[in-house]
Amino acid sequence: MVKSIGWENEIMEVEYVSGLIHQYKDVSEADYIRSLTGAIDKKVRRIGKTHAFIRVSE
C-alpha cells in the first residue's frame, strides 16, 4: 500500500507503508498526475510495469 508519492525531474518516488521506497525513472508529469487520482496503488503498479525503478531503501 502506498504511503506517499512525489515527482521531480521525471523521477517518481513512492514510499510504501512497509517503509520500502522505489524511484521510477522516466515518468512524465502527466503520468504522475494521473497516478494521484483514484486507485493509487493500482496506478503505481501499472507504472512499475512500464518504467524502470530502483529500490532506495528496504
Average pLDDT score over the chain: 93
Three-state SS at 34: helix
Answer whether residue 58 shows pLDDT above 80: no
Side-by-side strand order, sheet with 53-57: 2-8, 11-16, 21-25, 53-57
DSSP class of 24 = E
pTM of the full predicted structure?
0.85
Query: For residues 21 and 39, what is the distance between their CA atoms, to the nearest angstrom?
Result: 19
Which whole number is the average pLDDT over 28-46? 90
Query: For residues 48 and 58, what is the distance between their CA atoms, to the nearest angstrom?
Result: 17
Domain parsing of the chain, residue ranges: 2-57
